[in-house]
Structure 1
């Protein structure tokens, strides 16, 4: 019986020359990386992936709250354009349907008669649409719609 050339003294010898396998694996990995990069670049060019607008940096606070209105003050930071703002006010302690005011950009602009909200300026928001009593918890949120970011959020007890 003839012995296999890879067997010596009954033991199988492994061929130490694995260079052919490693070059094939390397080529497959490189092609995969290039294909992935091309797909990502194509998605950016076609608009499938968009980079959101950065949110403005600002400081807002409640200066006054009563049964009729909330006065917000812009304490500093970037000028805010009312076309990019949305203000939502909730009364968390009422079961009635009119427990929320949602001012989109158009309603906000007509409410405050301004296109911009600058440092040091105050805006008065009318609370006629919701019932507010002493001790009610009011949630106020100022949203930047372009960047889909909450600029200000506070839970205040009236």
Structure 2
């Protein structure tokens, strides 16, 4: 038996096997990268959530109707048409934000249902995200 010839044959067979394994690995990695890229683009089709810092600056619960003042402290400019105001979970059509709402501006919301313990939310309708959520406390 020729030992030298046996080892030479087995070394030659390893090269094609490694080549096939590398080609399969490259194909799997490329498929994963392309799939992630394509699926990632699908998530960006919807409207992006704006970033805005809103705060409850003041409140006048004795006014008729009661009022609260919301201040835009930073972030993106908001379009009032894209915002809805909910008071204790119900949409308040008469307490909406008109026009644009940009940094440094104040908007006064007035509604007869505003009182101590009332939860006010401002929702960005296209993205469905809540921009402001606070309970009024006297």
TM-score by length of 1: 0.58
1:35 equivalent in structure 2: 31
Partner of 1:86: 84
Choose 1 or 2 for highest CA Rg: 1
Aligned 8 A contact 1:112 1:123 in 2: no
Give the Å deviation of 1:22: 2.4
CA-CA distance at 1:54 after TM superposition = 4.0
Equivalent residues in 2 for 1:1-158 (5 A)?
18-43=14-39, 48-50=42-44, 52-66=47-61, 68-77=65-74, 78-90=76-88, 100-103=89-92, 107=93, 111-112=95-96, 114-118=98-102, 119-128=104-113, 132=115, 137-158=117-138
CA RMSD of aligned residues (A): 3.4
Preserved contact between residue 97 and residue 107 of structure 2 (Cα < 8 Å): no
- Counting helix residues as a fraction of each chain, which structure ranks higher? 2
Give the paired residue count. Answer: 127
CA contact (8 A) 2:122 2:132 kept: yes
Partner of 1:124, secondary structure, is: strand
Post-superposition Cα deviations, 1:41-99, rounded to whole Å, max 9, x if no partner, equal 44567xx4325514132332141052642312224224321112122221xxxxxxxxx
Task: Name structure 2 gaps, 5 residues minimum.
Answer: 4-9
Consecutive unaligned residues in structure 1, runs of 5 or more:
6-14, 91-99
TM, length-normalised to structure 2: 0.65
2:60–2:67 CA contact under 8 A, matched in 1: yes
